[in-house]
Amino acid sequence: MLAVVAVGVISSCGGSDKVAQVDAEAEVAHPDLATFQLNGAVRSVTYNDDYYFENRMFKFSVDGMLECDSLVEVERDSIDRIKMLLFPYKSDTGIDLKYVVSFRYDEKGRVSAIREEGQGWSSRARLSYDEKDLVVVDSTKSPDGLTVTDYNYTQIDDKGNWLSREYVSRNEGKSDSLSQEKGAEMRVIAYY
């Protein structure tokens, strides 16, 4: 069971106000980049899929910290990692709501669990990694049951960041072929 503990500060983006000078060739290891499974001096990442972030661009400062806009709030833990992303939105009836994505990390600083919550629903995902620190299995529990997603990476850049991957998702509670979904995800990464 994934427990979400509210430790930290919610802000438009949070974190320290330190300004860093970073060599574009240096490896940036800010925890925000690890949250998004990114390596190197990343300026931005745009997800071209409909899985987690739906064609959303995330920008990072030169020191690797997530730069937020009015569409996202961040809660950080005691060591300045992203604990939660809160996406405010309005319901069809005009009620202010928030879509919440919470993260837990393993001993290597990788995201080990993701909890998503919206109006009247939630899901909990556990992630498994390969030797290159790429997610290979996502096991998600939701009201629909357990869905297991296997990833195959089809394009990886010279920093070790995935640019495209294929997936096969199957609902473990159903044995018919209709419970299986295949697709591809892509992301575009800009560097400093």
Does residue 21 register a pLDDT over 70? no
Number of domains in the chain: 1
Mean of the per-residue pLDDT values for the chain?
83
pLDDT of residue 175: 60
pLDDT of residue 149: 96
Q: Specify if 17 maps to a domain.
A: no
Q: Specify if 160 maps to a domain.
A: yes
Q: Specify if 2 maps to a domain.
A: no
Sorting pLDDT into bands at 50, 70 and 90, what band is 113? very high
Cα–Cα distance between 18 and 139 in angstroms, integer? 37
Q: Specify if 9 maps to a domain.
A: no
- Count of Cβ atoms closer than 10 Å to residue 145 Cβ: 12
Q: Specify if 8 maps to a domain.
A: no
Place of tokens 């330190």: 18
Q: Specify if 19 maps to a domain.
A: no
Residue 165 and residue 185 in contact, taking contact as beta carbons nearer than 8 Å: yes
Domain, as residue range, for 183: 24-191
Does residue 125 register a pLDDT over 70? yes
Place of tokens 């390969």: 130
126-153 pLDDT, tens digit per residue, is 999 999 999 999 999 998 899 999 999 9
Q: Specify if 15 maps to a domain.
A: no
Predicted TM-score (pTM) of the model is 0.80
Mean pLDDT of 106-125: 94
- Which residues is 47 bridged to in the sheet? 187
Q: Specify if 182 maps to a domain.
A: yes
Does residue 22 register a pLDDT over 50? no
